[in-house]
Each structure stands twice: as structure tokens, then as C-alpha cells.
Amino acid sequence: MSQTADALHAVAVHRSEALLFFTLLQLAVIILAARAGGALALRCGQSPAVGEIITGILLGPSLFGWLAPDLFALVFRSASGEPMQILSQIGLLLLMFQIGLEFDFGHLRERKHQRTVLWVASAGLALPFMLGLGFGWYTAPLLAPPGVSPLAAGLFVATAFSITALPILGRIMIEFQLSRTALGVIAISAAAINDVVGWLLLALVSTLAVSHFEPLAFATKVALVLAFFAFAWLVLRPLVKRLVRHSRPSRGHFPPNLMGALLALIFLAGMTTYQLGIFAIFGGFLMGVILHDEHELREAWNTRVGHFVTVFFLPIFFTYTGLRTDVGSLDSAAAWGWCALVVALATVGKFGGSYLAARRCGLGHHEASLLGIMMNTRALMELIVINVGYDLGVISPQVFTMLVIMAIASTVVTTPCLRLWLPKIGHKLPPAVRE
């Protein structure tokens, strides 16, 4: 009996060591490739985030798995992918907290800005949603998995069209020093509203995909989300701000007890929003928002934690998505034609809706164009949405790949357009993003 137990223990230890070995191998490959991709993107005039996204896709079957299938299988298929998935979600949660910290929402006290945010958020959601619903419904017999209803397919594509990539948009805006400008706060606030509604839509669509929709249950979920947001602002915010000011963080000093308390709070908030049905990452963002005016905390976080989050955690998610993306699945001219239509419709819907709404609120052509292009940045959130759709079996591998390409294309154009249009509104480009 003892020998059997010892043998089973030895096997379990061996499996754990093997899992650790391959997880460390994957992490080493991902981190080095992401740094190389980010550096190459900078040389090409792009944001490092764009290079990291593309690198993550190329590490999947679309390139690495195609060029060296045996080596690809050794690195990424020799052990369970669960460690990578969990690490990627933790990274997103911390990044969303960091993004929430970075923005000065004091600009929204001006009535003009409040009106613009609501109009841009609404139009930037409604028009792409309608175009996505029409595309998904019409193409369901051709592109959706067998047995999936046109309504479910259409709603998932519509939700994917409607999302804005809040974390990536935030990173790009920080690089261009837009995070504390009125235009930047309007864009990030509209994107945040856009995405909260998008996550609620995703919860609704997911419910429709797996069961019959219950209006009362969905309305209850919305009410609980709003109640948690109110609790965070009215109750948690004063308590946490008192803790921060008592701890006195600074650029070179981040008290361990404060860091531990903040990490626990971020994780608890993520658990709460997950249970409410809008995914854990919004808990992290909300915790950042309630502390956005604690400037010393922001400096301490960016100095001590921020770079580790963006260098270590975020590339893991991009690679996790890349492992599920196979550009080779678009194996005909018709498939590439559908892909081009997806990119065009998504861009027209998001950019056009946001631009027209901004113009209606009195913004000039260049300011409205900047808002439109920033709202059209989809990468990270888009990838999250389509991964959910793929897991539920509502979208096919082909449509998954089309939407990944759309997410990349809509993000790649952001930096060049910002570089082109920002000087036209008098915004000086930082040295790091000049040509």
C-alpha cells in the first residue's frame, strides 16, 4: 500500500514538474517574442501594444505552427494551457486597474463634455451593433457553425462590432500624453460606457446562446451591477482613499501593506463583477477609477508594478488568443471577401457613428475624427468577446479568424491617425511617438 502511494506521489510530482517546465518555457518564448515585436512596431511607427498583439497571433498556428509544427507542438501543446489562461486573466485585471488610475475624470464635470460622452458612446454602440447584427444574421447559413440560430450568430457579431478596446486605447493614449486632456477623457469615458454596455450585451447574448432569455433575471443583473458601482463610489472610495493617504505612497515608495491591500481589493472587485456577469476585469477598472485622483498612488503603482504588468502579463493573453487563430482557415477568395467586409462594416459603424455624434455635439472635423479613430480601437476587448463566442460554439473558426483580423486592423490604424491628426488640433506629439 505504501509503495503504491509513493508511486502515485512520484507520478504527481513528475506531472507538476513537467507542467512547470513547459509553462516556464512558454513564458520565456512569449516574453522575448513580445519584446521583439514591440521594438519592431516602434521602428514601424506603431504602438508597442500593436506589435505585442501581432506577435501573439504569429506565435499561434497561423505562422509558428505552420512553419515549425513539431517545435510548435513541443512548446505549446506539451502541457495544459490552463496556467497561461489564468495568468492572462490576472494580467488583464491588473492592467484595467492601471488604466482606471491614469485618467482625470474631472473634465466630465463640464456639461459640454458629459453630453459629448453620452452621444459618442451611444452612437458608437448603436450603429456598429446594427451592422454587425445584419451581417451575422445574413451570413449565418454560410459561416456559422451547424445548428446555431441566425439570431445568436448575429448578436455575437453585433457585440463584437460594438466593443472598444479600453486597455489598449488607454495605453496608446498614455503614450501620446492624452490621458489628462479633455479629448482623451471624453474618449476613454465613452469607451468605458461602451464596454460596460457591451459586456451586458455579451451576458445577454451568452444567455440566449445556451438557454432561454429571462427578462427579469437580466434586469436584476443590471440593477446589481449599478448597485455595486454605487457602493464602490460611495462606500469603498472614502475608505480606500483614507488608507492611501495614511500610507503616503510616492514615486519611490510603495508600502507593502498598501500594495497587498490594493491587490486584495482588486481581486475581490474582480470576483464581484464576475459574479454579476460583466467579467472580472471591470472590477479592476472600477477600483482604478475610484482612486484616479490619488496622484502619488498612481506614480508609485507605475514605478513599482505597472511595467511588470505590461511586460509580463499582457503578452500572455495575446498569445493565448493567437493559439486559437488560424489565418489558414480563410482558404478561398470568398472567405477573404467576407473578411474584408467584416473589417469595412466594423470600421464604418464605429468610426462613422462616433464621428457623427461628435460633430453633432459641436466638435470640429479633426477632433471628431480623433474620437472616431480612438473609439474604433478594438484589439484587446474584441479578442475577449470573440473568445467567449468561440467557447460557446456560436462563431466558427473562420469567423473567429475574421474578427481577430478586424481587431488587429482597427488597432493598427490608430497610431498613424493620431500622429497625423493630433498636431492639427494643437496637441504636441511626445518625442517617443514622433516619426
260 shares its domain with 307: yes
**For the domain that residue 343 is a member of, what is the CATH number?**
1.20.1530.20
Rounded-to-integer distance, Cα 324 and Cα 109, Å: 43
Q: Tell me how many domains the chain contains.
A: 2
263 shares its domain with 351: yes
129 shares its domain with 263: yes
223 shares its domain with 308: yes
61 shares its domain with 87: no
- Identify the band that residue 213 occupies on the pLDDT scale cut at 50, 70 and 90: low
Q: Which of 76, 97, 122 is the last residue of a domain?
A: 76
61 shares its domain with 106: no
396: containing domain:
83-433
First to last CA, the chain: 71
Q: Is 332 helix (H, G, I), strand (E, B) or coil?
A: coil
347 shares its domain with 427: yes
61 shares its domain with 112: no
- Residue range 235-286, pLDDT digits in tens: 999 999 999 998 888 877 889 999 999 999 999 999 998 887 667 777 888 8
Residue with cell 486597474: 97
Rounded-to-integer distance, Cα 323 and Cα 60, Å: 4
Q: Answer for the pair 326, 62: CB distance below 8 angstroms, yes or no.
A: yes
Residue with cell 477609477: 289
Q: Answer for the pair 274, 280: CB distance below 8 angstroms, yes or no.
A: yes
235 shares its domain with 136: yes
Q: Which of 56, 76, 96 is the last residue of a domain?
A: 76
pLDDT at 221: 74
- Identify the band that residue 135 occupies on the pLDDT scale cut at 50, 70 and 90: very high
Q: In the numeric block, which cell numbers belong to residue 31? A: 516574453
89 shares its domain with 208: yes
Scanning 144-280, the segments in alpha helix (DSSP H) are 150-162, 166-175, 182-210, 215-231, 237-247, 256-276
- Identify the band that residue 406 occupies on the pLDDT scale cut at 50, 70 and 90: very high
71 shares its domain with 136: no
69 shares its domain with 111: no
pLDDT at 408: 87
Q: Which of 76, 111, 139 is the last residue of a domain?
A: 76
- Residue range 169-205, pLDDT digits in tens: 877 887 788 877 888 888 888 887 887 777 677 767 7
For the entire predicted model, the pTM comes to 0.76
List all residues 6 or more positions away from 373 whose beta carbon is below 8 Å from its beta carbon.
Answer: 351, 413, 414, 417, 418, 421
Instruction: Please state the φ and ψ torsions of residue 396, each to the nearest 5 degrees.
Output: -85, 165
- Identify the band that residue 24 occupies on the pLDDT scale cut at 50, 70 and 90: very high
- Residue range 59-77, pLDDT digits in tens: 888 888 888 989 998 888 8
Q: In the numeric block, which cell numbers belong to residue 244? A: 492611501
Q: In the numeric block, which cell numbers belong to residue 120? A: 459618442
